[in-house]
Amino acid sequence: MRVRARAACKLTTSVIAPNLELALRDVDDAVRKGADVVELRVDFLRDDAARGTLGDAIEALIKASPVPVIVTNRPTWEGGQDDGDESARLEALWRAHECGAAYVDCEALAAERFFAAKPATATLRNGKTKIILSSHNYDETPNDEILAEIHAKCVRLGADIVKMASVCNAVEDVARLEKLLRTKGREIETIVLGMSEHGQVSRLLAAKFGSFLTFGAIRRGEESAPGQPLLEELRDLYRVPTQTAATKVMGVIGNPIGHSKSPALHNPCLAAAGVDACYVPLLVKDIKTFLASPLFGSKDFVGFSVTIPHKEDALECCAEVDPVAKQIGAVNTLVRQPDGSLKGYNTDYVAAIEAIENAMEKKTGVAAAKSLAGKTVVVIGAGGAGKALAFGAKFKGANVVIANRSVERAQALADACGGVAVSLEDLASGSVVGDVLANSTSVGMQPNVEDTPTPASVLGGFSVVFDAVYTPLETRLLREAKASGCEIASGLDMFVGQAARQFELFTGKEAEVELMRDAVLSSIKR
């Protein structure tokens, strides 16, 4: 078997404009945003097709593009827009071939018809145009055996490059795509793409995994496939052009995960510190299954941030747990040890308590380190973040009250930390009094920004109100607390503080806190 040299992964975008004029605009935009290759989706050129100028439009774009062009004319039966005559569809691809397109993409299911339709004047190996044979599965990612069979068929049919795209119904499906690249991609240039949010990591780590290219959208809302990130994100945030097989990976595990600003925070700091690593979002249904995956359980994945709803289950996945995290009963940080096992930490509680102490100092004038001693802290929520807040407050000498939708869970946490349990109805009635109100739930997070965990009428009874939610920066809870005369503490302070400690645990380097804060603020404003 001939083992090919590994080539750099190409940043690619799909041009899905309805006519040549807009397509040329998009090509210029794509190149400016970092595209190494552009894909012309002929099946979207409806205006030119209607005018009978489709062939001329293909030729004009190939000649005008400053970067290599992939020409694709995807039929409706494989997720595209072309519902016309099959011979005319394939004829457009051969026109692209004759015009010197760098690549022509044909569906594996149509490969035999495509090659049979080759014009007599066409030279198949013209030295310019490479044939991509592609397979798309919009239902699932098949098992290893089926993926290998499809790949082998594409090679047998005459592919220069094989493209395999499939919907990932769980993030663990990406492991099969990575395995295909690791094995079959050594023989022939191969593209693998996991569609859906579960599969997005295959796109973000395409260069590390060895994919020939990866796709990014030119603009938000113009994605040509599910789970496609922006082209600029691939270039600047995830640094695909500098990834290699040796690049280490960190990520944030959660469900949902699309709202997370952790990648926007960690990746600039990794770049500034000169660390060859990439930090990615990971939509995970079951953390135990995820960590048992041969890919995500490997030593290349050196650390994970853990968010809702996995913080308590994550503790059970650790071979070793930091004593404070063990007492809290939840971890938000997993660090890979030299033997491949995981050690769990909780960086939430220090960051949250520091944010609250600083707000209390502003309100009372008492030094932050002593400002919670003897105070009553009412924590909304009894999940992982709630546990961190409750134990953190207790460590500082505060009296702790837990308010939760499930009184049973509130009581369990209260018993564990030596506090008192109440219902959310008790809190809403005004019968619960205290010095600090701390929301640890996701209530009020984008997109549900008008939700709030408790009525404004009770806020005036507290000196400080803290909200762990940081998108938006000022939640309805904080807005109403400020109007009630409370000192407020934003979830941004907690988020940046806990992330800085995570960064140090992941890399052994000190975090640039202000860079982290600026990166998050910039991301939120976008």
Q: Outline where 184-301 has alpha helix (H).
A: 200-204, 206-209, 231-232, 262-272, 287-292
- Is 348 among the residues known to form the active site? yes
The b/e string for 417-430 (b: 16+ C-beta within 10 A; e otherwise) is bebbbbebeebeee
- Strand arrangement, sheet containing 190-195: 190-195, 161-167, 130-137, 103-107, 69-72, 37-41, 10-15, 213-215
Distance set, CA 468 to CA 12, 185, 380, 474 (Å): 38, 44, 10, 11
Report the distance separating Cα 67 and Cα 70, nearest Å: 10
- Among candidate residues 26, 43, 48, 348, the one labeled active-site is 348
- Is 259 among the residues known to form the active site? no
Q: Tell me the pairing of strands 301-306 and 333-336.
A: antiparallel
DSSP string, 247-260: -EEEEEEESS-TT-
The answer to whether residues 336 and 297 touch, using CB atoms and an 8 Å cutoff, is no
- Among candidate residues 10, 97, 163, 179, the one labeled active-site is 163
Q: How many CA atoms lie within 13 A of 281 on its CB side?
A: 25
- Is 322 among the residues known to form the active site? no
Q: Which residue's structure tokens are 């113009």?
A: 222
- Among candidate residues 10, 179, 311, 343, the one labeled active-site is 311
The answer to whether residues 250 and 256 touch, using CB atoms and an 8 Å cutoff, is no
Q: Which residue's structure tokens are 């930090």?
A: 279
The answer to whether residues 462 and 359 touch, using CB atoms and an 8 Å cutoff, is no
Report the distance separating Cα 381 and Cα 410, nearest Å: 8
- Among candidate residues 33, 136, 261, 343, the one labeled active-site is 136
- Is 163 among the residues known to form the active site? yes
| Active site amino acids | 136, 163, 311, 348
